[in-house]
Amino acid sequence: MLPAFFSIGIRFSIAKLYDEPYSYGTASWLIFLESVPLTKIAGAQLFHGDTNDMLTFIIAVQSMNESTIREIETLVSHHARFRQFCADPPFVSGTLLVREPLIQAGRVTSKGELDAGNNCLQEAWRIFSRQYRTL
Which band of pLDDT confidence, cut at 50, 70 and 90, is reported for residue 133?
A: low
**The whole model's pTM is what?**
0.94
Dihedral sign, Cα of residue 19, residue 131, residue 128, residue 68: negative
Mean pLDDT of 33-42: 96
> What does the domain layout of the chain look like in residue ranges?
6-133
Count CB atoms within 10 A of the CB of residue 35.
18
